[in-house]
Chain A
Amino acid sequence: MAEITSAAVTSHILMSPRTVEDQAARVFNGMLQIGRHLRAAKPDVLVIVSSDHLFNIPLGTPARFLIGTGASLMPFGDMDVPREEFRGYPEFANAFANFAAASGVAIEPLERFSPDHGTAVPLMFANPDHDIPVVPVLVNYSRDPTPAPNECWQLGETLARFISVARPATERVALLGAGGLSHWVGYAQSRVNEAFDRSFLAAVTGGELAPWRAKSAAEIEREAGNGGLEIMSWLTVLAAAPQSRPEIIYYEPMVSWMTGMGGALLHLPGHAAQ
């Protein structure tokens, strides 16, 4: 059986540090630490669970989950992300889509996928040399209705089973869940729900995620905004690494960035903290 050798979760955006230099530095350093942790385990593949912000997946696309199956992942370039190619991993991605389908979880293959900031920014930290093959898994938050937290949990459990039973024994897999925390995208008022963010982070570190799995997407959106739905990318990875010990690395309620920014390492049994 293959092995998950490192895992983490993080917000997936950066903005201008002007006027918030100290907060921005803490976020940036936290993301650096998370990236170094993931690649210190020398993964053969990096599976990133994130979202697309309507740059690749058109409004009205019915799929709950999608997966980039191409050999090349050229960033879309939004937010001035450099258009420097990451390597895909078609064999892993297609095999996972097939395995998931057989397990009752539909994941739509996306042969052409140009990662927007949601995938590309975390990769710039986790894969700065662009040498680790990447499998991008996307939760379609623009779908109506949005996938439910429990569906994302099942996706994560399916991913863990796939790695455990269907991958080569020597394969080392890194997992990264990207997005969140609370934010309202496309609204006039810049808001962060710090209480919501801290409550979620406490549940992550306390391993008390059952109530979060039971929430509806509408409930999360009401409390944390349309961008807050992205905590389901975290839930997906947490479900794939249920034995992990999460450690919060950074949290900053960044109103000027229109988002709560957070990140955590998921320490895995048998793998020393980096």
Chain B
Amino acid sequence: MTDACDGNVNALLGRLFQEPGLLQRLRSDREAVFREAGLSPQQCAALREGSPDALARVGADPILRMHYLMASNPEIAGHVTIRDFLDDLRKERRGG
């Protein structure tokens, strides 16, 4: 069952990578970010848990769940990255 206010969750997750400073604030004071976004207690609990299933339960869009995982879980952010290929990609350039 999804939360009646699930629009608030998607609105917040959709702003994470758009609004300057929001990502940093989420990491430094997430409770304040949740409060300002008008999240319900169930929504706050789901975001604290941070798993795809928990996010799904409060109606988070699947792609935005991935945004949140990237923002809140350093292990996932360290895995979902192209940085290991950047040196070899630079060699594709003329004179690279």
Asked if A14 contacts B82 (CB within 8 A), the reply is yes
Asked if B92 contacts A80 (CB within 8 A), the reply is no
| CB under 8 Å from chain B, chain A span 208-244 | 226
Contact of A185 among B17, B63, B88, B90 (CB under 8 A): B63
Q: How far in angstroms is the closest Cβ of chain A from B90? A: 8
A58: B residues at CB distance < 8 A? 14
Determine the distance from Cα of A142 to Cα of B92 in the docked complex, in whole angstroms: 33
A55: B residues at CB distance < 8 A? 17-18
Q: Is B53 an interface residue (CB 8 A)?
A: yes
Interface residues on chain B, size class: 35 or more
B72: A residues at CB distance < 8 A? none
B63: A residues at CB distance < 8 A? 53-54, 142, 185-186, 226
Closest residue of chain A to B95, judged by CB? A129
Q: How far in angstroms is the closest Cβ of chain B from A60? A: 9
B-contacting 9-mer, from A42-50, A64-72, A85-93, A117-125: A117-125
B28: A residues at CB distance < 8 A? none
A188: B residues at CB distance < 8 A? 51-53
Q: Is A104 an interface residue (CB 8 A)?
A: no
Q: Is B61 an interface residue (CB 8 A)?
A: yes
Closest residue of chain B to A117, judged by CB? B82
A81: B residues at CB distance < 8 A? 82
Determine the distance from Cα of A187 to Cα of B90 in the docked complex, in whole angstroms: 33
Determine the distance from Cα of A128 to Cα of B86 in the docked complex, in whole angstroms: 11
Asked if A79 contacts B89 (CB within 8 A), the reply is no
Given A35-B92, A58-B14, A128-B96, decide whether A16 and B84 contact each other with a Cβ distance below 8 A.
Answer: yes
Q: How far in angstroms is the closest Cβ of chain B from A166? A: 32
Contact of B93 among A16, A28, A59, A129 (CB under 8 A): A129
Q: How far in angstroms is the closest Cβ of chain B from A136? A: 18
Asked if B17 contacts A187 (CB within 8 A), the reply is no
Q: Is A78 an interface residue (CB 8 A)?
A: yes
Asked if A59 contacts B92 (CB within 8 A), the reply is no
Asked if B81 contacts A15 (CB within 8 A), the reply is yes
Q: Is A206 an interface residue (CB 8 A)?
A: no
Determine the distance from Cα of A53 to Cα of B10 in the docked complex, in whole angstroms: 14
Closest residue of chain B to A52, judged by CB? B63
A32: B residues at CB distance < 8 A? 92
Asked if B62 contacts A226 (CB within 8 A), the reply is yes
B92: A residues at CB distance < 8 A? 32, 35-36, 124-125, 128
Instruction: Using A15-B80, A17-B84, A184-B62 as known contacts, list a sample of 16 further A-B pairs with CB atoms less than 8 Å apart, ordered by residue number in A.
Output: A13-B82, A32-B92, A36-B92, A54-B61, A54-B67, A58-B14, A59-B64, A79-B80, A79-B82, A80-B81, A121-B82, A128-B89, A128-B92, A129-B94, A142-B61, A187-B62
Name B residues whose Cβ lies closer than 8 Å to a Cβ of A: 10, 14, 17-18, 51-53, 55-56, 60-67, 69-70, 78-86, 88-90, 92-94, 96
- Top 6 nearest A-B pairs (CB, nearest first) are A186-B62, A186-B65, A128-B92, A80-B83, A188-B52, A14-B82
Residue pairs across A and B with Cβ atoms less than 8 A apart, 25 shown, are A13-B82, A14-B82, A14-B85, A15-B79, A16-B80, A28-B85, A28-B88, A36-B92, A54-B64, A55-B17, A59-B64, A80-B81, A82-B86, A117-B82, A121-B82, A128-B89, A128-B92, A186-B56, A186-B60, A186-B63, A186-B69, A187-B62, A188-B51, A188-B53, A226-B62
